[in-house]
Amino acid sequence: MTVIKRIFGLLWAAMGLSIIPLAIMRAMQEIAEKPTEENWIFWSIVIVVLMPIISFSLITFGIFALKGEYNTLEA
Amino acid sequence: MAQNVTNVAQTEEVTSTRRVIAASSVGTLIEWYDFYIFGTLAKIISEQFFPKDNPTAALLATLATFAAGFVIRPFGALFFGRLGDLIGRKYTFLVTLVIMGGSTFAIGLVPGYKVIGFAAPAIVFVLRLLQGLALGGEYGGAATYVAEHSPEGKRGFWTSFIQTTATLGLFLALGVILIVRQTLGIEVFNDWGWRIPFILSVFLVGISIFIRMKMSESPLFAKMKKEGKTSSNPLAESFQKKDNLKMVLVALLGATAGQGVVWYTGQFYALSFLQNACNIEFVQSNMIISIALLIGTPFFIVFGSLSDKIGRKWIMMLGMLIAVISYRPIYTVMYSEANLKLKEEIVEKTEKKEKFDVKGADSLITTVTTKEFTDGTKYKETVKKKFPVDPEVRAAMPKDKLKPETKKEVTLPQDLFYKMIGLVLIQVIFVTMVYGPIAAFLVEIFPTRIRYTSMSLPYHIGNGVFGGLVPLISTRLVEFTRPAPGAPPADPLFGLWYPIIIAAVCFVIGSLYISNKTNNLDTE
């Protein structure tokens, strides 16, 4: 189980990292296509609020898991 | 004699714990009620304070709806959590109650945009932020306070009463609004009657403050304070120390994020789906949700209590897993039961009425079409077309200003009404599985000296940010499937992918990394 926890740690960190360019590219594409107020508000919320929380927490959590910090917790 | 003394002591302990739970739960219930009436009355508030033709006011409306929901709540969690770990639980969550009650009451008194202009949306915006701040501080305090009074082995049961308050708060808000609206009539309610649920809050909060003032400090915190073991910097200790930060992260990604999306989907998204995708009539859709919430609420206590016996983890994980698997089938049935294209119309009962009015320089044509279907479903469509009487002015107007306003209302027959209640109830049961044990789970993974701060942040990010964004992101996802603006969406259920993906990731993380062991609360 400890090996699985560590391997998945890599996955969480990779997920957290990949979300950043994906979200920014999608936001830029959508705003360029339709620069409406609705689009600006929606993507601002995603980029300023949601994305940093998801990325930061997944990357940090992934690194902790990879280092085996959660191995002492019984699943 | 000794037996009698033991019995008296036990009875006193039970009475005291009951008093603690009652005082904490009533206050938290009122806080949720205060928070929800703003959301439930968002449309009326928007008309009163945030006119669409003023772009700044419209922006404030959006910010007031979202900012208080997810940006401010975690800040409230940090601010009041820190305070709770420094000066104590009792006074901190007393302050949050006063702020929440005061700002709710004040919203009910603020004159509209027509009376005081831009000051109106600005004041309401600030008051809404205060509401979010107070809510961010309340829950962690109440859960910690009750947990620190609870006997070992019964923490899940006792804290589950706090867990019922969010749902009961929504129920209370919907109930009060429906009663006031039905009593005063729609026009009066939209004019000034909507203020009553806000003003009513001051009495509820007053009673709650009176009860809470009589309560004593949490025994664990009081002991730590007496021994001088409280934290001098709870924020740094909570988030800069690796051992605690890793627990904050596992709590967020393995529990509260999934709980947040399941919670919002089962209650708010379900209501929004009934009203907007299924076009179920306002009172009937609110009744469906209210009844399902009322029947489902005892299950918070059932699952909270069960978590004392079999552990918290697998109940929460199972709730998330079943939600992930069953959301699409449940919503498919909900959608098809209200889909008029699948029903047989009784053509001879179809009626169409047209009314023509002149109001000032504008003409208003109202067309009301009513239909009946063989299964007992009734449909009413009201189309309002407003245009200037003067043909020259009319010709000069942009096309989107001349677009008619259409309101669709489906009223289901009794059997389908009950079926809808059943379908929403299933979702409320998922909510009770993930939410019932979570307070006990959160308080047990953090040490007493920084518990208020540490548990409040993941809770409010999970519930407020991940959960609070369900309506916004899900609505947006459905928009992606619309082939053209104004056309019906190709997949009205596409919005469910947001809660499904978040809950699925949370399920995997929670299953792998969360421990099923229930911990005792420390005093170190």
The verdict on a CB contact (< 8 Å) between B465 and A74 is: no
Residue A73 lies in a domain: no
Instruction: Give the number of beta-carbon pairs within 8 Å between A and B.
Output: 59
Residue A75 lies in a domain: no
pLDDT averaged over every residue in chain B:
87
The verdict on a CB contact (< 8 Å) between B246 and A8 is: no
The verdict on a CB contact (< 8 Å) between A57 and B249 is: yes
Alpha helices in B280-312, H assignment, sequence order: 282-296, 298-310
What is the percent of chain B where pLDDT is above 90? 47
User: Do the Cβ atoms of B414 and B287 come closer than 8 Å?
Assistant: no
Write a three-state SS string for B204-261. Answer: HHHHHHHHHHCCCCCHHHHHHHHCCCCCCCHHHHHHCCHHHHHHHHHHHHHHHHHHHH
What CA–CA distances, in Å, run from B52 to A43, B335, B447, B486, B507? 21, 31, 49, 20, 41
What is the percent of chain B where pLDDT is above 70? 91
The whole-angstrom separation of Cα B263 and Cα B251 is 16
Q: Could you tell me the pTM of the whole model? A: 0.88
Interface probe, candidates A61, A63, A67, chain B, greatest B C-beta count within 10 A: A61
Residue burial B27-43, b: 16+ Cβ < 10 Å; e: rest: bbbbbbbbbbbbbbbee
- List pLDDT tens digits, range B249-261: 999 999 999 999 9
> What number is the average pLDDT over the span B37-50?
81
The whole-angstrom separation of Cα B519 and Cα B236 is 24
The dihedral through the CA atoms of B17, B144, B24, B425 has a sign that is negative
Of the candidates A1, A37, A45, the beta carbon closest to that of B66 is on: A45
Residue A44 lies in a domain: yes
Domain that holds residue A15: 2-66
Q: Check whether B368 has a pLDDT greater than 80.
A: yes
Check if B511 contacts A (Cβ < 8 Å).
yes
3-state SS, residue B147: helix
- Nearest-Cα residue of chain A relative to residue B474: A42
Looking at the structure of chain A, the number of domains it has is 1
CB contact set of B51 (below 8 Å; sequence gap of 6+): B57, B58, B113
Q: Which residue has the tokens 């809470």?
A: B212
Q: Which residues of B touch A49 (CB under 8 A)?
A: 70-71, 465
Structural tokens at position B100: 């929440």
The verdict on a CB contact (< 8 Å) between B472 and A5 is: no
- List pLDDT tens digits, range B443-495: 999 988 889 899 999 999 998 899 988 888 888 888 888 888 778 888 899 99
Of the candidates A5, A42, A49, the beta carbon closest to that of B513 is on: A5
The verdict on a CB contact (< 8 Å) between B59 and A41 is: yes
Report the pLDDT value the prediction gives residue B208, as an integer from 0 to 100: 85
User: Do the Cβ atoms of B458 and B256 come closer than 8 Å?
Assistant: yes
Check if B306 contacts A (Cβ < 8 Å).
no
Residue B208: CB atoms within 10 A of its CB come to 24
Report the pLDDT value the prediction gives residue B401, as an integer from 0 to 100: 65
- List pLDDT tens digits, range B196-242: 999 998 988 888 888 888 888 888 888 888 888 888 888 888 888 99
Residue B456's DSSP bridge partners are none
In this prediction, residue B514 has a pLDDT band, given cuts at 50, 70 and 90, of very high
Residues 42-71 of A with CB under 8 A from B: 42, 45-46, 49-50, 53, 57-58, 60-61, 64-65, 69-70
The dihedral through the CA atoms of B161, B164, B166, B172 has a sign that is negative
ipTM over 0.85: yes
Residue A71 lies in a domain: no
Structural tokens at position B309: 């016996």
CA angle B273, B60, B112 (to 5 degrees): 95
The verdict on a CB contact (< 8 Å) between B246 and A50 is: no
Residue A25 lies in a domain: yes
Q: Which residues of B touch A73 (CB under 8 A)?
A: 250, 513-515
Residue A74 lies in a domain: no
